[in-house]
Amino acid sequence: MFSRRAFLSNGVKYCVSLSLSGSSPAVVSLGGFPYTPRLSGGAPVSIPGNFIGLGYEMSSVATPGLLNVDNHRYVNLIKGLGPAGVIRVGGIVADYTRFESDGTSRAERQNTVITRADLDRFGQFLKTTGWSAIWSVNFAQDRIEDAVVEAEAVANALGDRLLALELGNEVENYGRGEKPFRISPYNYGTYRAEYSEWLAAIRKAVPGIPFAAPDTASSIEWVERMANDSKGDVRLLTTHYYRGNRKYGTAEQLLRPDPRLKDVLVRLRAVSQDSGIPWRMCETNSFFGGGRPGVSDTFVGTLWTLDYMLLLTQYGCSGVNIETGINQLGFISSYSPIQDDQKGMNTAGPPYYGMLAFAAAVADCSEVLPIDIDARGINMTTCVLGTGGRPRSVVVVNKDSLQDAHLSIKELGMNTASALRLLAPSAGSETEITFGDSVVDTDGRWKARIKEEIRDGAVAIPRMSAIVLRSTNLRSPV
């Protein structure tokens, strides 16, 4: 049986460094081929400092003790993902929510009530964590007058922590379903006219308040048209993505590229570049409907989360909000990075470790550096991050169930590096997932217990695992 710990303890025996006269440094691997990433010379892609984010149904803000500064464990879990992330509050529940300033809070999937006290608590939570928020207004069933009052209250409570206001959730679906919110067909033109009317009313009451749109379930066409129609009234282009339906989700789907995703990302990158408006994947996770138990909540979900976030950076995404917590169906999603026993105990779920590894990789990095690499058939992805065109981090996600990978990072100028490994006993593990040989403790904190030192530029990555390499001695790439 394959033993990860045996692999790691003997890893130095698998790779030896060999310099050949007249050639670049190479790695001769006794356990497999060497993989050598090289900078391709392509233009770096910027990574905003607030790239990392989480997504919540609106009812979460009305849930007592959840997004609250007194919930120290939750505060620590948020801070562990970075100093400047984004919380998006919305989801389907947003279209069943009303704001009552001095009312009674209610956290129900089709009858949520947000009060001024809820907003004040949430504002303090954001201030304490250092994060900002995207806030969704009930565009489906509220009146413009209600939206204006809510927008004023949100702006007052969140202040400069309000990144953007959204109108509605998955708006292209408003004319569909058994109980549609709009008369069918509900097309983009009709939506845009409504959107402009609401925006004007809200901006009159709260001058300069930033907006994000169109927050589609999947329509990239609506995103493109919104960008084309924007006259400075949209600060952020937003849409959603899920790999598939929880009823039919499989581990294999998370371990292999989604054939439809590349076209989506190419189009989003193009419309953002053409319009000059950043785009954000503001609601996303593995399988919609709460994830697939036994898949989304396993180490497969961990590796998918890390790999997916890295992929988004390469297509110019300005940020991602990984959905977590209670969903629109009223139960805690299996794909949640932050789990909740609904009795006041919050813990790190398997996807959290993927986000944690991403956070470690992008620390002090502001760009993705395009590379050339031949993976020779291994189901593996490699991403190089840095600043000023110089590599600082290398992330390798080996999703192959049969083959180990062996990497040389010398040609990136990283002669020495520290290594943090993302490991689990098996692909299906729901517990015992570690990053840097450490787990997130019961107080919501993580600190690496083992940080390997890579001194010859050669490193082994076991099958079904990932690694974050951080340069400790930069030199110019060969």
Measured between alpha carbons, how far is 76 from 87 in angstroms, rounded to an integer?
A: 15
Q: Could you give the CA distance from residue 354 to residue 323 in angstroms, rounded to a whole number?
A: 14
Provide the pLDDT confidence category of residue 474 given band limits of 50, 70 and 90.
Answer: low
Helix (H, G, I), strand (E, B) or coil at 117: helix
Return the ∠ at Cα 201 (arms to 198 and 204), rounded to 5°. 145
Look at residue 212 and tell me whether its pLDDT is greater than 70: yes
- pLDDT mean over 332-356: 96
pLDDT tens track for 408-433 = 999 999 989 999 999 999 999 999 99
Residue 32, pLDDT score: 56
| Mean pLDDT of all residues belonging to the chain | 92
Is residue 104 pLDDT above 60, yes or no?
yes
Q: What is the pLDDT of residue 10?
A: 39
Check residue 377 and give its pLDDT.
87
Per the CATH hierarchy, to which homologous superfamily does domain 4-44+366-471 belong? Golgi alpha-mannosidase II (2.60.40.1180)
Per the CB < 8 A criterion, the answer to whether 400 and 378 are in contact is: yes
Percentage of residues in the chain with pLDDT exceeding 90? Answer: 88
DSSP output for 34-64: EE--EE--PPPEE--TT-EEEEEETHHHHST
Instruction: Give residue 174's pLDDT.
Output: 98
pLDDT at 370 over 60: yes
For the chain, give every domain's residue range: 4-44+366-471, 48-362
How much is the pLDDT for 7?
42
What local confidence, expressed as pLDDT, does residue 376 receive?
Answer: 82
Residue 139: band (very low, low, confident or very high) from pLDDT cuts 50, 70, 90: very high
Q: What are phi and psi of 183, to 5 degrees?
A: -70, 130
Predicted pLDDT at 344: 87
Statement: residue 384 has pLDDT above 80: yes
Taking only the tens place, the pLDDT of each residue in 438-454 is: 999 999 999 999 889 99
pLDDT at 473 over 80: no
Residue 269: band (very low, low, confident or very high) from pLDDT cuts 50, 70, 90: very high
Q: Which residues of 304-333 are buried (b: 16+ CB within 10 A; e: fewer)?
A: bbbbbbbbbbebbbbbbbbbbbbbbeeebb
Backbone angles phi, psi at 201, to 5 degrees: -65, -40
Residue 31 confidence (pLDDT) above 50? no
Instruction: Band the pLDDT of 29: cuts 50, 70, 90.
Output: very low
Burial class (CB in 10 A: 0-12, 13-18, 19+), 402: exposed
- pLDDT of amino acid 25: 28
Statement: residue 203 has pLDDT above 70: yes
CB 454 within 8 Å of CB 416: yes
Q: For residue range 280-306, list pLDDT tens digits in order.
A: 999 999 999 999 999 999 999 999 999
* 386-415 confidence digits (pLDDT tens): 999 999 999 999 999 999 999 999 999 998
Alpha helices in 112-187, H assignment, sequence order: 116-129, 144-158
pLDDT tier at 231 (50, 70, 90 boundaries)?
confident
Residue 316 sits at φ, ψ, to 5 deg, of 75, 15
What are the pLDDT digits (tens) for 254-263?
A: 999 999 999 9
pLDDT at 16 over 50: no
Write the class of the CATH domain 48-362. alpha beta
pLDDT category at 114 given cuts 50, 70, 90 is very high
